[in-house]
Every structure is written in structure tokens, then in C-alpha cells.
Amino acid sequence: MAPPLLLLQDIRLTFGGRPLIENASLSVSPGERLCFVGRNGSGKSTLLKIAAGTIEADAGTRFVQPGATLRYLQQEPDLSGFATTRAYVEAGLGPGDDAYRATMLLEALGLTGEEQPASLSGGEARRAALARAIAPEPDILLLDEPTNHLDLPAIEWLEETLRGMRSALVLISHDRRFLERLSKATLWLDRGNTRRLEQGFAAFEEWRDAVLHEEEKERERLDRKISQELDWVRYGVTARRKRNMGRLRKLEGLRTERREQRGAVGQVKLVATEGELSGKSVIEARGISKSFGERAIVRDFSMRIQRGDRIGLVGANGAGKTTLLNLLTGALSPDTGSVKLGTNLEMVTLDQKRDSLDPAMTLAEALTDRRGDTVIVNGEARHVIGYMRDFLFQPEQARAPITALSGGERGRLMLARALARPSNLLVLDEPTNDLDLETLDLLEELLDDYPGTILLVSHDRDFLDRVATSVIVAEGDGRWTDYAGGYSDMLAQRGAAAPQRAVNKAEPKPAKKPSEARGATTTSRAKLSFKQKHALETLPARIEQLSTEIAKLEATLAKPGLYSNDRKTFDTASARLSAASAERAAAEEEWLTLEMLKEELGG
């Protein structure tokens, strides 16, 4: 095997109190295709910056082969100091590189090369930075969310361009299909540590779930061992003091080990606040047209949208997706034709450009619209701190300004705002931007269960396949066509080239036996032990007791003004709520395991 071009070993970096990265490694060999995954806020972009040499780690080593060229696409590029985008891209070329390649790449990405950096939008600046990164065909190419702000034709062009390059690639992206088609290995950053899978992204999620399941089993084994040691301490013989002290030290070591274990990051809890049921007919467009100057954006378009439809809008940047969306929702009047909106519509728009966020607001103010400390979700008042936790925000972030949030955190904030409002028509403009893959899975599940109607603009092919029931496609010259099904179905109907690899539909896995599902083993004995029988009889009362306590704690935390007026009570109740929830979950799991074991043993 060839020696690595880039090597990071034992990287450690701390922001504030707790380490962000504790023990991370990265090895990139010539021509390698590596996708880099992890939850939002896990430190992926930070580790990529360490790999690029733009920031320095607190500990660990970084090695780049002498003479190896490296280019890095960051999320927020700086073009200041350059007269035009062409000058910016050409400045990234090395000796002997073809200057024409800079012009060719800029044109492929929708830029002329004459744009002045000061007048660029965020998306245009990122496309210029992408051209600068890939123009010299470096030995190592580090790309942080390269598909952001690209339309579908540009994403597919980028896939083919990267596939044909000799560069070693390290890719961070939320676009599943992009990762599946380009990656040959996967690096997972999880709780400050990296794990590597020598397969592409298509195999990652099953592998990740297996790793987390094994970790949970190991935690359960450790908890049982601690419980056994505690029983010995409470009820064991105390005559031999030296032996007793040794057991106590062993117990303390086990408890320390358990405390220091970092559990898997929690999942976002997505629940949409449902409005009243809309009429069966939601939107009816008849022969609508819209032009700006001599350019036709929409020409003689008709469509009827019924309650429960999930409509995806697809087209190149500038094709007029937002214009068509505004025409269909009544925000913009057509030049000709008519749009009739159904009865009892409650529309909520997810503005993924985040224009509606006031940078001066704190996170809590953005969620409550500066109206106290409560958020109304499905008709119930919830304390803003509790609602924040559903979206993986920490209590100390409540008073932090929005400007301090990462791109992924701002994406979750926009979701939290939109889903708290009653709706039966969701209008989603690029909802997948900056969301991690786990949050995307949950968003897809929420939209699948949503009883209302969805209008969706997205460049994420996998997301469209999973969510859309029909796709409206820009055909050019103001013409739009409605195709049944998702993105792949649209390609098949249009006769376009099929994807090189078919999308793997989720297939139901065979049900596991209860013993396999919970790591239990079927024993040879004929009946439960006395201790197991006793636990089976007493656990339901314990679960009920914990449920009552949890309900009281939640009611306490929901009191308006508690966080600001009585921080001590809030912290105590919050800590006890977490502990009681964990105790109830453990008791429920133990009871269920014993019930199944009882059934396996024939009662």
C-alpha cells in the first residue's frame, strides 16, 4: 500500500470546557475516495480545517507528504482582495496549470469570471471557491458541503468531474446520493473519536447502527456488573476488611468508567403542529403565465393539488422555482390565468435562507418571537428550554445570539420555528441544507406522517425520492411538466439516462427473536429464578411511580419564567427529569426482557 499523502494522528481540540475532538485520526492515500460523516456540531468541519492546516490542534500530529498539493473548500470562502472571480480562481492554480481550466470551470458553475466579489451572493461565492479548489487537480481535495447552493444539473456535473479526477477526495456532505456515488471508504466522527469503515457511504448506516447497538449492550453489561457489586457492598460479609476495600475500589472504578462513557448524541424530536383539516382541493392553477421583461418564467401552466399531495419543484438555479412556488401559494399574481386556493388553509413556510431571522435575537427569542418563555406546540404551552432540547440545543444556548450558531444549528432552529406553528400546508424551500443525515431521516419520517399538503423545493435527489408524490420539472422557455413519483421516477418517464447505481429502497428486515433483539440468551433452565419473578411482579409499580414523578417534573419545568426566575429549581428539576427518564427506560427494558424470557420458558 502506498504511504498516505495526509495523516492526522491522535488529534485533540477543546473549545470551552469539554473537548470537541478527543482522539481523532485521518489517513488519506493517493486517489482515495473518503466520505466524512457525523452529527452537526460533532467537529467535522473543524477536523477538516486541521487537515487543511488552517487551524492548529491542541495535541496530535499532522503530516503531509512533501511536494503533495492540497486544496480545501470551506463553507464560507473569503474572496476579498481579488478584482474578479476569474482572478480569484486563477490565483489558486499552480505552476504549469492551464489557466483555461479556471474559465471552463467557472462557466460550468454558472459564472462568467467577471463578477466582482463584493457583489456576489453566498451561493455564487461558494461556486467560485469550488472552481478554485478543483481547478489545479490537486493531490488532496478536501470538500466541505460542496453541493450546497448547487442545482441538480450542477450537482450531477460535479459528480462526473470529481469521478474523473485523480485527486484523493475527503467529502463532507448531507447529500446521500452524492456520497454513495463517490465514496469508497467512510470516516465517522462520533463523540470526539473517529471510526473508519473500508466501504462507501451505502454501507455506513447499517454499520453505524450495529456499532451503537453493541455499545448499548456493553453499557448494559457494565450497569449489571455495577449493580452486582453494589448488592455485594450492601449485603456482603464485612469481616475481611482488606478484601472488602478491594471490592469497593473495584466498584468505584466501574462507576468512574460508566460516568466517563459518552453516550450517543440524542435524536431530534420532530413533531409538526397540525392545523385544522383543509378542503380536499388545496390549489388549482389554470393556464397561469408569468414573465419578467421579455423572459417567460412560467408559460400556460395548469395543475390541481389535492390535500395530502407532496409536490417537489425541480430545476436549474434561475429557472423560476421560487416564482412558480409564489404563484401557486398566492404570494405572486400571474400575468394571465388564475390560481384558486382551497378553503381553511393554514400555510407555514420554511425559509431556509433564514432571511426571517433577526441576527440580534437570541435563540430563545427566535423560538418565542420575544413573547415570554413558552412555545405553543399542538395547543400546549411548553417551556422554551424543553422545546430547545427536542432539537438538540443545550439550555446555556438559550441566551446565545443567533450569529453564534453553526449552519446546521440554524437549520434546526428554522425547523423548530416552522414546526411549532399550526399548518395544513407546508412550503419548504431547500429544507435539507446544513442538516445532518440523522435529522434528515427524522424530517422524512415527519413529512411521511404529515396529514396536510407539502410544496417542496429541493436539489437533494434522495430526499425527493423519499418524500415527493409528484415532481414539477422546469423544461425550459417557461414550460413546466408534472411527473408522477419522485426524482428517479421523473428521469425514467422523461427517458433521461438512468442513475449509474439504483437507489436502494429500504426493505423490511426479518424480525429478530426477542432474545436476539435484547442480547438475551435462551437458558436451559425450566423456570425463572425467584429474583426474576420478584422483579417481574414489582417493576410495573416502579415504572408507574417513575412516570408520575416525570409528569410532575415536566409540569414544573413548563412553568413560564422558571428558567429566568428560579434557575436553581430549574436545574434541579431538569437533572432529576433526565435521571428519572433513564431509570424508567431501564426498568421498562428489564421488565420486557423478563416477560419475553418467561414466554420463551413456557410461562
Residues annotated in a binding site for ATP: 38-45, 315-322
Query: Which letter, b or e, does each residue of 533-566 get, where b requires 16 or more Cβ atoms within 10 Å of its Cβ?
Result: eebbeebeebbeebeebbeebeebbbbeebbeee
Phi, psi at residue 370, to the nearest 5°? Answer: 60, 35
DSSP label of 393: -
* C-alpha–C-alpha distance, residues 579 and 252, integer Å: 20
DSSP H helices, 484-529, are 487-494, 514-517
* Contacts of range 96-104, beta carbons closer than 8 Å, 24 or more positions apart: 97/135, 97/136, 97/137, 101/135, 102/131, 102/132, 102/135
The closest alpha carbon to 414, from 346, 467, 347, 353, belongs to: 353
Question: How far apart are the two ends of the chain, measured CA to CA in Å?
Answer: 58
| Backbone torsion region of residue 205, taken as left when φ is above 0, otherwise alpha when ψ lies between -120 and 50, otherwise beta | alpha
* C-alpha–C-alpha distance, residues 367 and 421, integer Å: 10
Amino acid identity, residue 467? V
Strand order through the sheet with 470-476: 347-351, 425-429, 453-457, 310-314, 470-476, 479-484
Place of cell 405572486: 332
Place of cell 490542534: 57
DSSP H helices, 279-373, are 321-329, 363-368
- H or E stretch covering 298: strand 295-306
Strand order through the sheet with 336-341: 295-306, 281-292, 336-341
Residues 6+ apart with CB under 8 A from 277: 307, 344, 424, 451
Computed on alpha carbons and rounded to an integer, the radius of gyration of the chain in Å comes to 28
| Backbone torsion region of residue 81, taken as left when φ is above 0, otherwise alpha when ψ lies between -120 and 50, otherwise beta | left
| Residues in the chain, overall count | 603
* C-alpha–C-alpha distance, residues 350 and 411, integer Å: 10
- Cell numbers for 561, please give them: 419564567
* C-alpha–C-alpha distance, residues 9 and 63, integer Å: 9
- Cell numbers for 480, please give them: 413546466
Q: What is the DSSP string of 535-572?
A: HHHHHHHHHHHHHHHHHHHHHHHTSTTHHHH-HHHHHH
